[in-house]
Amino acid sequence: MRHPSLVIAAGAVATAGLALLAAEFTAAPLAQTIHDRAKVMLDEKGMKEVRLTFATRAGSPSRHAILTPVGNPGEGRRGRIAKALAAVPGVGGVFWTDGTMIAESGEAPVAPLHCQDDVEALLQARTIRFEESSASISPESGELLDEVATALRPCVGAIIAITGHTDSSGPPDVNRALSLARAIAVREALVSRGIPRQGLMTEGMGSQHPVEGLETTDPANRRIEFAVVAEVPLRPTPIDTPSAR
């Protein structure tokens, strides 16, 4: 007979994998369509001073435009190009490879924001709790997740990693699967609170990285950690940000 935790965790991993594949196949044609629209607009307006990419630094397709200046177009010209691109249907936001960013509305560039410290401060005293041997978040953690979502909201548009950890009780493969399933559960809880799924990465480490100074079997190793891995704060569009449920 299979261990129930293994079945639950394996199912969660399989579901997550299918979701990622579906997102990849959906995102690539969408990014190409937006790129083609943007390229036509640039050509029509004679804006030849940029190279245009719709992909993250890791190479994944994205709705956000990355502009690389060709030559020295000047600040005024750069602003006009960025605003023109921000008005193209489907573009989620525009930023330059040298770090200057502009929101989709064409407003003034925004500077990178920091929210990781705020989330870590929340989790120092409290823990996102789960039902035993399960990826179901305990109801009493709802208020904490509300606060985490509030802390993350200023960094909407950045890439935030959510990493699940376990203690060393149980088989390593079960621990890894369970930690990933819990990270995914936290991601979905944050999405339901208005944080765009596009900017939330998940990873399950199992018991590989216990808290420094603790035995690997200590229950305090069962935790969720957050890290801002790329700061690209852009104003979310209605497509990026679902209504809170």
Q: Is 36 part of any domain?
A: yes
Q: Is 39 part of any domain?
A: yes
Q: How far apart are CA 136 and CA 11, in angstroms?
A: 13
Single out the residue in 102, 129, 152 at which a domain terminates.
102
Q: How far apart are CA 5 and CA 96, in angstroms?
A: 46
Q: Is 19 part of any domain?
A: no
The answer to whether residues 135 and 197 belong to one domain is yes
Q: Is 13 part of any domain?
A: no
pLDDT at 22: 40
Single out the residue in 102, 134, 150 at which a domain terminates.
102
Q: How far apart are CA 125 and CA 241, in angstroms?
A: 29
The answer to whether residues 57 and 78 belong to one domain is yes
The answer to whether residues 190 and 93 belong to one domain is no
As for how many domains the chain has, the answer is 2
Q: Is 186 part of any domain?
A: yes
pLDDT at 230: 65
The answer to whether residues 79 and 123 belong to one domain is no
The answer to whether residues 57 and 120 belong to one domain is no
Q: List, in order, residues 6 or more apart from 16 with CB less than 8 Å away.
A: 180, 181, 184, 202
Q: How far apart are CA 54 and CA 148, in angstroms?
A: 29
CATH number for the domain spanning 138: value is 3.30.1330.60
The answer to whether residues 81 and 185 belong to one domain is no
Q: Is 237 part of any domain?
A: no
The answer to whether residues 92 and 117 belong to one domain is no
- Per the structure, the complete domain to which residue 216 belongs is given by 112-230
The answer to whether residues 122 and 215 belong to one domain is yes
Q: How far apart are CA 65 and CA 55, in angstroms?
A: 7
Q: How far apart are CA 171 and CA 100, in angstroms?
A: 47
CATH number for the domain spanning 59: value is 3.30.1340.30
The answer to whether residues 146 and 92 belong to one domain is no
Q: Is 220 part of any domain?
A: yes
pLDDT at 53: 84
Q: How far is residue 102 CA from its own chain's centroid? A: 19
Per-residue pLDDT of the chain (245 residues), as tens digits, is 444 444 444 444 444 444 444 444 445 777 788 888 888 988 988 888 888 888 765 566 777 777 888 878 877 888 888 888 888 887 766 767 655 444 333 433 333 346 777 888 888 878 898 887 889 999 999 999 999 998 888 777 778 889 999 999 889 999 999 999 999 999 999 999 998 888 899 999 999 999 888 999 998 888 998 887 665 544 444 433 333 33
Q: Is 162 part of any domain?
A: yes
